[in-house]
Amino acid sequence: MAEQHDCANAPEDFDKMHPDNQAQLREWIRVNLEPTKRIGDGRYSHSYSLKHLAEKMLGWYVSNGQLKGAMLAEGFRWQPCDGTLRDPSPNWVFNSRRQPGLR
């Protein structure tokens, strides 16, 4: 099977963002999420759900890859979501949960 490259899901997409948007996304993560001991422990741990939450709260488009890259930059650990060998999931699960008073 040929390796598929999807920029919207690649964490390197974060590096292509404008520095102001990178800073806003990282700040949103610091304010709204906290690390958990185990990956997938918190309700707010799935990259695709987090990307939509960030978009809603920041007011601009965030790709799945940009969210993944920002989470890595903030030191969160991850693992791939369940998928199949034939159709692997582009989404990741992190060791994150929401901070009290999520904004």
Whichever domain contains 15, its CATH number is 1.10.10
Q: What is the pLDDT of residue 2?
A: 35
Distance between CA atoms of residues 29 and 62, nearest Å: 13
Q: Is residue 70 helix, strand or coil?
A: helix
User: Per the domain annotation, does 64 fall within a domain?
Assistant: yes
User: Per the domain annotation, does 2 fall within a domain?
Assistant: no
Distance between CA atoms of residues 88 and 98, nearest Å: 27
pLDDT, tens digit (0-9, with 9 covering 90-100), for 2-58: 344 466 899 999 999 999 999 999 999 999 999 999 988 767 789 999 999 999 999
The backbone region for 18, taken as left when phi is positive above 0, alpha when psi lies in -120 to 50, beta otherwise, is beta
Crossing angle for the helix pair 19-32 and 47-58, to the nearest 10 degrees: 110
By the 8 A CB rule, do 94 and 47 touch?
A: yes
Measured in degrees and rounded to the nearest 5, phi and psi for residue 36 equal: -115, 165
User: Per the domain annotation, does 1 fall within a domain?
Assistant: no
Q: What is the pLDDT of residue 32?
A: 94
Q: What is the pLDDT of residue 6?
A: 66
Q: How many domains does the chain have?
A: 1
User: Per the domain annotation, does 103 fall within a domain?
Assistant: no
pTM of the model: 0.85
